[in-house]
Amino acid sequence: MTESARDCARRLAEAALDRMAENVVALAVGELTSFADAFVIATAGSDRQARAVADAVVESAKSAGHAVLGVEGYEDGRWILIDAGDVVVHVFVRDAREHYDLDRLWADAPRIPLPEAPAEPAVGRRRTESRP
């Protein structure tokens, strides 16, 4: 896998994480297939969030100078595929990810290390410590 594809996969995964995607993984699939060097797989809580994640991924790819060759499934929002050339991003709603189980299908692919997901904001949380 080229360093460019690895960096692109990380960047696109970070864009998904920035939109609160869950269970984001990046896989180096170049040794297993000829049509991509990496897959990024992400889960969204709803079709609306899936579209927001896809929008962020497309924007991130374009701002980094990567061509977005196609986007499929955007209208339905259950499984959105973004083809960024060497990197293909799959954004699923939970039940669709479980059904298609790409994680198991591509289990032989090495994982690309990603940054930790951002911590959830403390909005709306009540303070539990007592005051003197």
Question: What is the value of pTM for the model shown?
Answer: 0.84
Tell me how crowded residue 47 is: count the other CB atoms within 10 A of its CB: 18
Q: Please give the average per-residue pLDDT across 9-24, as a whole number.
A: 95
Tokens of 126: 């009540």
Do the beta carbons of residue 13 and residue 38 sit within 8 Å?
no
Instruction: Check whether 112 has a pLDDT greater than 80.
Output: yes
pLDDT class of 132 with cuts at 50, 70, 90: very low
Indicate the domain borders of the chain: 3-105
CATH of the domain spanning 3-105: 3.30.460.10
d(CA 129, CA 57): 40
Cα 78–70–76 angle (5° rounding)? 20
**Over the stretch 32-71, which tens digit does the pLDDT of each residue have?**
988 899 999 999 999 999 999 999 999 999 999 888 999 9
pLDDT at 118: 53
Order of strands across the sheet that contains 38-44: 22-28, 38-44, 87-93, 79-84, 70-72
pLDDT at 119: 53
Across the chain, mean pLDDT equals 87
